Amino acid sequence: MSEPLVNILDLHLSLVGGAGAVNILRGINLSISKGETVSVLGPSGAGKTTLLMALSGLEKATSGQVQVAGVNLTTINEDDLARFRREHVGVVFQSFHLIPTMTALENVSLPLEFSGCVNPAEQAEEALRNVGLGDRIDHFPGELSGGEQQRVALARAFVVRPALLLADEPTGNLDRETGRIVMNLLFDLQQEHGTTLVLVTHDEILASRCQRSVRMIDGCLREDNGVVS
């Protein structure tokens, strides 16, 4: 097996809400190889989104270690963390999260601009053509269908060639057929770029398209073959 891109060791993560602290992740261990595709299944509230937040560095571990692309997310400072996210991680959400006041082209250009790319608009246009939206580049998100918005989000996530793509129920707001088209596109882009993928989904069939499935239950992970981590 190739070297791991993701290495999580005994990760605990608690968040303090209005009703006090909640122990969300309770001792997660997970290693993911470069280019591997892993689905995360599990009931609502189990901690799946929180795990993705920890992997993107948006939430800090309470204890334990999260290493991605050789970067230890538990010890780096905020500036390095922001750079890490820009350079290594793409995220696709259930509700698309496009910036409503920006066109499709501007949305996809944004991460390229942050990364100091010299011709962001050109590259963004090509990325949009690759997801079949060459004729929609000047549309605002509100002028696009749900499936089209998610394709813009895919173009935006992949345009900087992240090593790690995190997808949180990316078809949750789409009808079955549109969801299928979006996921075919996601897996095509993943294969083309050799991206490591962590896909959170409630859809067992979609999960089975990944090389490996893990299940989160009450803040703990188990491999879908029954091995407890």
Interface contacts to Mg ion, rule CB under 5 A = 49
Q: Which does residue 17 bind out of ligand ATP, Mg ion, none, counting CB within 5 to 8 angstroms by kind?
A: ligand ATP
Smallest distance, ligand ATP to C-beta of residue 49, A: 3
The footprint of ligand ATP on residues 50-69 (CB under 6 A) is 50
Residue 15 interacting with ligand ATP (CB under 6 A)? yes
Cβ proximity to ligand ATP: between 13 and 112 the closer is: 13
By CB under 6 A, is residue 45 in contact with ligand ATP?
Answer: yes
Which 3 state secondary structure label does DSSP give 25? strand
Nearer to ligand ATP, 24 or 38 (CB): 24
> Counting contacts by CB under 6 A, is residue 17 touching ligand ATP?
yes
Q: Which helix (H) or strand (E) holds 71?
A: strand 71-72
Q: Which CB atom, from 49 or from 56, has the smaller least distance to Mg ion?
A: 49
Shortest Cβ distance from residue 220 to ligand ATP (Å)?
A: 12
Among 49, 107, 190, 213, binds ligand ATP (CB under 6 A): 49
Taking the least distance from each CB to ligand ATP, the nearer of 13 and 127 is 13
What are the C-alpha distances in Å from 171 to residues 13, 29, 149?
Answer: 27, 27, 11
Edge-first strand order for the sheet with 20-33 is: 20-33, 4-17, 63-68, 71-72
Tokens 């091995």 belong to residue: 227
Burial class (CB in 10 A: 0-12, 13-18, 19+), 210: buried
Q: How far is the CB of 14 from ligand ATP (least distance, A)?
A: 8
Q: Determine the 3-state secondary structure of 128 from DSSP.
A: helix
Q: Taking the alpha carbons of 179, 180, 185, 189 in that order, is the dihedral positive or negative?
A: positive
Closest distance between ligand ATP and the C-beta of residue 15, in Å? 4
220-223/4-17 β-pairing: unpaired
Find out whether 196 and 35 touch, Cβ atoms under 8 Å.
Answer: yes
Look at phi and psi of residue 101 and say left if phi exceeds 0, alpha if psi is from -120 to 50, else beta: alpha
CB of 87 to ligand ATP, least distance (A): 25
Task: Tell which one of 47, 120, 162, 170 touches ligand ATP (CB under 6 A).
Answer: 47
For ligand ATP, the closer CB: 2 or 44? 44
Sites of contact with ligand ATP (CB under 6 A): 15, 17, 22, 24, 42, 44-50
